[in-house]
Structure formats: structure tokens, C-alpha cells
Structure 1
């Protein structure tokens, strides 16, 4: 019986329960793509979570949640890890433990074809109407808005930002390159109709976050991420979805 117990224990030790990995269900391509029928969910976030789990010798189960529920679920231990997240976006960053920085969120400026976006630090904002995401703060642009030298055109969705350019309600838009790529994925002909800035408007490092009571440790996560960076897997993953790794 002792031998049998030992064998079972060894097997259990080799196969811990799958990692419960939270994803924002509202994020579309390239981050999270909902499968249909027998098709599995996919996207950058799914591949990223799976790659980290493999480095930790664990399986991974994706748990899609509404944006407002993801962070509380992580704090309460209902999910174990959340990636492509930043302390500056969290409501309770001190209740979470954070990995090393990994894939950045990069915002770029978009203009209609033939228009001028400018490049950092010489953006073409003066006298322009700029389509922005409702509720977001843009420190570089705000002084021009306050001085009446630029006009803020708030939209609730990325598609509406692009629509603002199409109907000449705005001259420029600012959004993340992931969301730009997502729009072009859904609207393939639009790629040739817009100019995207070569340089970044803003760069926000993102991390993986775990709850304070997680069975994972930051040290383990950092080792896993370091291996993915050193092997080039992270950079290849980002490029596959039209995004920058740094």
C-alpha cells in the first residue's frame, strides 16, 4: 500500500491542477478570439498564457471574464494569473503581485492616407481634431486641448475613432497598435486607407499579475518570462499578431 500511495503521489506532483488564467472577454483580435463550436479560443493572450504555463510545467484553463470582474476575481483567488496588465490600470495594485515587465502596450497616431501624423516628439496635433477613447487621459495632448490648440473628439469604440476619420469628424486618432491591428483584421481594405505613425505615442510596460495567496510566486513567473524572452518566443508571438515586443 505504501508503494501504491507513493506512485499516486508522484503522479499528482507531476500534474498539478491547470492554471486558471483570466482573460478580458471584451478584447477582440489580436488579443482574444472566441471560437465557435469545437474551435478553441485563440489569440495573443491565450498563446501567452499557454506559453507561460508550459514553462511552469502546468496546464492552462482560460477563464474569460468581463473587464470589471477580472481584477476582483484575481484578488479573491477565483483566477490565478492575468497577463498584459499594468499596475497603472489596476484599481487595487497593492493587493496583487507583479511579474517583470514583458510585452508593452504601444499607442500610435493614425491619419487618413496622405495625412501627416508627425513623429515623436513632433506630433501634428496643433489645430487638429483628435479622436480619442472616452475616459482615457493623454498627458502629451492635454496642454494643447486646454489651450484650445487641439480639439478632443471622444469615442467609445475604436471602430468609431476610425469612422471619425472617414467622415472627417476628426483629423487624427490615437489608440494602441493592438487595437489598430484588430480594426485592420476586421476591415482588411482599411489598411491601405490610413497612415500609422512609425514612432510610438506612448509605451506602457505590461506584466503578469497574481493574487497574494496564489500558489505561484513572482520569482517563478519571472524565470518563465525570462526564458520566453531569451528564446525569442515572446517577440515571435508579438510579431505574429502585428505587435511590437519592445
Structure 2
């Protein structure tokens, strides 16, 4: 009986060890995200990413590719460097126009379309039909972000850029009249205004500042290829998975 027990223990040990080896041998992809990825792109609990569009899409992609993933909180100003030196492998919510080293990175097919919108206070009686109508205003923006459509106007001092860390802070500043308007993605604005208790004091303007394709940025030496990523993405889009994730956050 003792020999039988020993044999069983040995079998269990090797089974457990084999599981660990297989787990460790799985390809691991490191995902970068940060405070600039406002909800519903990234939703944190106790400083850990636990929900949101980034996590949902990456979970589906990793299941398709049979890889493991980890998340590293990355300041916006370090994204280019971290991608280039492989500190992180992938940033999901991006666009070549936003990163200074875009030509050194690999870019995915389009995940979805994002539109930049302006928000003003609801008690603002003015009409805004074109960007020039914002002349003389202080515009709330996100630190480290590029706004190709607005930049020429910032350069010519038509209006002033005021950077903060995220959309929520800009909404507070707009409520307090510290800024005259804010610019951000429609996806983020729609979600945030569903969360705040004073949404009625804000007005989302019909004017679209710009629209852009959301694409994933992959580091030059990532452990997966862009072909693999795009194949998984196409399958998820064809199956309606990406659309379902967007609907989950009531933003499609």
C-alpha cells in the first residue's frame, strides 16, 4: 500500500510540474495601458485593470491565439519608448498619427472608428459650426495626446490647449468654468456622461473635430506577428464579438 501511495504522489507531482511547464511555455504578450485610457477603455479596481474595452478585446484575442497576457500601466509620454524597446508589446487603443515613432511599429487592421467631439456647458448659448468658432477659448485636452486637426489652431494661438490626465478631470474643470470646452473621443464622452450625476450641465456639440481608425500598435520584436493578430481580429469582427463588446458599454 505504501508503494502504491508513493507511486500516486509521484504521478501527481509530475502532472503538476508538467502543467507548470506548459503554462510557463505559453507565449506571453505584455499590454500597455494608462490613465489616458479613460473608462470604458480601461476600468480599474485597486489600481488593477479588471474591466473595459481593452481587457475584453485582449481577452478574446489571447483566447484565439492561445497566449497569456499581462498588463503594465504606462504613462502616455513613455508609450513610444516602451513599445520600441519591448518593455511592452502592444497598445490596443492607438493610431499611427498619435505616435512619433509610428514607422518603427507594426499596425493592426482597424478595430473600430472613433470620433473626437467637443463638449461645452449646457448654459453656453453660442453656436459652433466650425473649429474657428472656438477662437479665444481654453480647450481641455489630454496630456501627451496629439490632435492633428486642432494643432494648427493651437500653433496660431486661435485657442489655448490645457492638458490634464483624463476626461473626468476635464469634465470637473468644465463644470467649474476653468476651461471653456473639452475635446475627447465620442466613446469616452458618451460613457462618462452616463456615469456622472450632473450630465445635464454638459452639451456635446454636433461638430465632429476629427475621426480616426483605432488600431493596435505592436512592438517590432513582439512574441506574436501582426498577421496572427489581424487573423484573430478578423475572426472576432466577423463573429460580431467586437460589436458586442462595444454594445456592452452602450456606445455602439
TM tier relative to shorter chain: 0.7 to 0.9
Q: What does 1:231-242 align with in structure 2 at a 5 Å threshold?
A: 231-242=239-250
Runs of 5+ in structure 2 lacking a partner? 1-17
2:7 matched residue in structure 1: none
The answer to whether the 8 Å contact 1:19/1:80 transfers is no
Q: 1:107 to 1:236 in 2, by over 3 A?
A: same
**Equivalences, count:** 231
Partners in 1 of 2:45 and 2:173 — Cα distance?
A: 30
Aligned to 1:47: 56
Deviation at 1:137, TM superposition (A): 4.0
Larger Rg: 2
Would you say the 8 A contact 1:31–1:45 is kept in 2? Answer: yes
Task: Choose the corresponding residue for 1:34, options 41, 44, 55.
Answer: 44
User: Any residues of structure 2 matched to 1:97-176 within 5 Å, and which?
Assistant: 97-113=106-122, 115=124, 122=130, 125=133, 129-133=137-141, 136-137=146-147, 139=149, 142-143=152-153, 146=156, 151-152=159-160, 154-157=162-165, 158-176=167-185
Query: C-alpha root-mean-square deviation of aligned residues, in Å?
Result: 3.7
Tell me if 1:193 matches 2:201: yes
Q: Please list the CA deviations of residues 26-79 of structure 1 after superposition, one character each: whole Å capped at 9, or x if unmatched.
A: 234212222239x86222111111111112122332233333344333322333
What does 1:16-31 correspond to in 2, within 5 Å? 17-26=26-35, 27-31=37-41
Alpha-carbon distance, 1:195 to partner? 1.7
Asked if 1:208 corresponds to 2:216, the answer is: yes
- Are 2:235 and 1:223 aligned? no
| TM norm structure 2 | 0.72
Select which of 79, 87, 95 maps to 1:86: 95
CA contact (8 A) 1:97 1:212 kept: yes
Give the deviation of 1:215 after TM superposition. 3.0
- In structure 1, the residue matched to 2:84 is 75
1:54 partner SS: helix
| Contact 1:20/1:60 (<8 A) preserved | yes
How big is the shift at 1:87? 1.6
Q: CA deviation at 1:145?
A: 8.4
Q: Give ranges in structure 1 of 5+ residues lacking alignment.
A: 1-7
Deviations 1:7-31 (A, max 9, x none): x7xx95x995253232223234212
Instruction: Write 1 or 2 for the structure with the bigger share of helix.
Output: 2
Kept in 1, the 8 Å contact 2:154–2:160? The answer is no
- The secondary structure found in structure 1 opposite 2:50 is coil
